[in-house]
Amino acid sequence: MDNNLYLPWPLPRLNTGGGNRSVQALKILLGLFALFGLLLENTAATVAADKSQPKPVLSLTSLEAPPFISNDLNGKGPIAILVQEAFRRSGYQSKVTIGIWARTISGAESVFFDVLIIGIKAPEREEIFHYSAPYMKLEMALFKKKSLILDWKSLKDLAPYHFTAVRGATVSKEFQAAKYLSVLWVKDAKSMVQLVIKGRANLAASPKRSTQNILEKYFPAEVHNFDFDITPLSTPTVHILVSKKHPNAKNLIDAFNSGLKSMRQDGTYQTMVERYGLFAVSGE
């Protein structure tokens, strides 16, 4: 075995005769070792400082969907509170921006926002985003006039009717693929409800609770004239989404999942579900 010490630079030749050259060379060598020691010390200090740096404040975004999430609700609503708490348990502080669906999803895709709070699985979306574990379900239903009695077994039975839905939102895999349906896509849920009230659409395909909330808030005089079909269109699970373009995407998904698991384990999740009437989903 070679017991010689390897250094990435050549050692100066020492004059064993003891002249000035050997003293000077020894000083140079000692100086190099001192410099090398300082470099190691500075590197260790930099690594330690990096580890102690606080995590960045996350920017979360969502469409307006009362009573789940809205600028008008305390803490911006139970879903905002739930998602922020899950991230907080993994060391992340966050802020929530609420807007129309098209802007929030495009902002999340382009990494203008770190996280999209409400996401339903769809094949085209799974190519763009990473999905978290599910944290609740939605009941997608048909909003209609009470006087309209529906008798249907499949979506094809509903082909004679005019639909409306929020542009870019996922109702169900079958609904998205049903090219035979006449659907007027609008920018937000309020516009969707308004189209049905005005008779420009027969049916709105939408989340039941948030649509009912919009009806009561913006059109209270019409509450007794409209209802939902008893047969749900779908009950999709809800996830947070992080763009695959995000440099920290998988870590953010893991952080949320870890925080959500902690909330399930200590009962916080179940407490929130019962308090706010959320459609719970079992842990995965």
Query: Residue 36's pLDDT is what?
Result: 53
Alpha-carbon distance of 157 to 154, in angstroms, equals 6
pLDDT tier at 282 (50, 70, 90 boundaries)?
confident
Summarize the confidence of residues 66-78 as an average pLDDT: 95
The pTM is what? 0.77
pLDDT tier at 195 (50, 70, 90 boundaries)?
very high
Residue 49, pLDDT > 90, answer no
Summarize the confidence of residues 61-76 as an average pLDDT: 95
The label of the residue with tokens 């008008």 reads: 72
Alpha-carbon distance of 173 to 162, in angstroms, equals 19
Residue 204, pLDDT > 50, answer yes
pLDDT tier at 233 (50, 70, 90 boundaries)?
very high
Partners of 140 in beta bridges: 207, 234
Kind plus residue range of the DSSP H or E element containing 124: helix 123-126
User: In percent, how much of the chain has pLDDT > 70?
Assistant: 81
Domains of the chain as residue ranges with CATH = 58-135+239-276 (3.40.190.10), 140-228 (3.40.190.10)
